[in-house]
Amino acid sequence: MQIDYHINDKFDFGLLFPVIILFCFGLAAIFSATFNNALADSNFQKQLIWGFVALIVFFITYSLPTKSFKQLAIPTFLISILLLIAVIIIGKKVSGARSWLAFGALGFQPSEFAKIGTLLMLSRFLSMNNTNINSFRDLLMALGIGFLPVVLILMEPDMGTAIVFLAMIITLIFWKGTSVFALFVVLSPGFVAFSSLFGTYYFLAALFLILVILFLFKENIFFSGSIFALNLASGFFADYVYGALKPHQQQRIQAFIDPMSDPLGSGYNTIQAKAAIGSGGFFGKGFLEGHQTQLQFIPEQWTDFVYSVIGEEFGFIGTIIMLGLFTFLFLRILKLASQSKNEFLSLTSIGILSIFFTHFIINIGMVLGIIPIIGLPLPFVSYGGSSLLVNMIMLGILANIYRTRKNYS
């Protein structure tokens, strides 16, 4: 039994196993969604090959010396920025966004690579001895590092990935120990502005929530009052901006709030995905038996809408198992992050957690129609080599941190 002890001590099966099962769910869904599609019927094999490649890369990352991640932070960040600039200039345009760099038959998204670069760089900065996140100067510095890639990604434009970066920056700063109140002050106007798009009632509800939270913080009345005023103003500002938008942009927002308002355009995918999932019922219609999937109501269902295939063909059982696997994985990473006493490694782990979680919540929320359509793949499940590879590198970093956690404690 001694051997088992050693393996468990060096390798966290709790990280890899859920991911492998999720990947297999993805393979089944990709197979089913491309089954009748002459243009994509090789996607299953491609994803399988990518899976093997990604697994090898995972083990390579796993066995690197742990200190190398910190050493790699600056070079990977600089390369990321260069690639992000390059993609804006010479990138390949795919459905409106210039986010792909092509090398012959292979293409990859610099923004995927930049996730790792930015994460390592920000973690490195925040873990430096003299960094004080509650000083205005250092907070500004941290935001500067984080926002540089965000601005470049917004220029592509790739809204979804930019949101992932923002979530990561906020999580890292939070984990570092910034004042929660400060974070609240920064974030609440955005929340109110977003709510106001849904109409007056949502706007009022959001304001009420802000009021309650302000009350709980027990800051001085004048300060709280100005923050409330700021929130109020942001709601009206959002309304003003909405009015100034071009009709097709308004339409896209409208389609999220009420998909039925444009059932053939932007709302189409949501309606069809919701119908697919809803009709799956408890047990699902069975593998290769989903009407919506097999009749290809949803274009390119094997990418961002892959969860709707699971929902239709494997039902509630399938979707809940996947939800459980993801939650298990997230809590496992969180545990790892809080175990690690090395600040850099702990921050890196929490950053990876935030990247996975943001993808997860936005993708599934979008498919279930509770979040607007933002094109983000479901980690380890959606079809796509470059995102699978980067996700497996990040998983490899986590496994690596687990391996040497005792040396750094």
Partner 1 sequence: MKSEKFASASRKTFLSAIIIIGAVILGLRLFQMQILNQTSYDDKTADNSIKMIELSPRRGVFFDRNLKLLVNNIPTYTLRITPADYNKKLNEILESVLKVKPGYINNVLDQNKVYSKYLPLKIKRGINFDIVAWLEENSDNLPGVDYIVDMHRGYPAGVYGSHIFGYAKEISRKQLKKEKEFYKLGDFVGYNSIEKSYEKVLRGTKGSKFVLVNSSRKKIGDYKNGADDIPAVKGKDIVLTIEAKTQRTAEREFIGKKGALVAIEPVSGEILAMVSSPQFDLKEFSYITSKDFLNILYNDPGKPLFNRATMSVKPPGSTFKIIAAVTALDLGIITTSTTFFCNGGYTYGRLFKCHGVHGNVNVIQAIEKSCNAFFYQLILKIGINKWSEYSRRFGFGSKTKIDIGQESAGLIPYSKYYEKIYGVNWPKSILLSLVIGQGEVSVTPLQLAQYTALIANNGFAVQPHLVKGYIENNTKEFVSKNYKSFNVGIDKKVFDIVRHGMYLVVHGAGTATRLRHSKYEISGKTGTAQNPHGEDHAWFVAFAPFDNPKIAVAVIVENVGFGSTYAAPIAQKVIEEYLNSLEPDESEEVKTISLLKKTKMGEAIAN
Give contact residues for partner 1 (rule: CB under 8 A).
Answer: 35-36, 38-39, 134, 171, 174-180, 263-264, 271, 274-282, 288, 291-292, 294-295, 297, 311, 315-316, 319-320, 323, 326-327, 330-331, 334, 337-338, 343, 346, 350, 353, 357, 360-361, 364-365, 368, 370
Residue with Cβ nearer partner 1 (350 or 388) = 350
* Cβ neighbours of residue 195 closer than 8 Å, sequence gap 6 or more: 202, 203, 205, 206, 235
Which residue type sits at 174?
F
Cα 54 to Cα 99, 198, 364, 390, distances in angstroms:
21, 41, 23, 8
Residue with Cβ nearer partner 1 (125 or 357) = 357
Residue with Cβ nearer partner 1 (74 or 275) = 275
Closest distance of CB 33 from partner 1, Å: 11
Closest distance of CB 368 from partner 1, Å: 5
Residue with Cβ nearer partner 1 (51 or 315) = 315
Instruction: Using CB atoms within 10 Å of the CB of residue 344, give its burial: 0 to 12 exposed, 13 to 18 middle, 19+ buried.
Output: buried
Closest distance of CB 334 from partner 1, Å: 6
Residue with Cβ nearer partner 1 (71 or 179) = 179
Q: Phi first, then psi: what are they for 36, rounded to 5°?
A: -105, 15
Closest distance of CB 172 from partner 1, Å: 11
Give the 3-state secondary structure percentages of the chain, helix then strand then coil, rounded to 5. 75, 5, 25
Contact 284, 318 (CB under 8 A): yes
Closest distance of CB 39 from partner 1, Å: 6
Residue with Cβ nearer partner 1 (6 or 291) = 291
Closest distance of CB 279 from partner 1, Å: 4
| Pairwise CA distance, residues 391 & 326, whole Å | 14
Structure tokens at 343: 């600040």
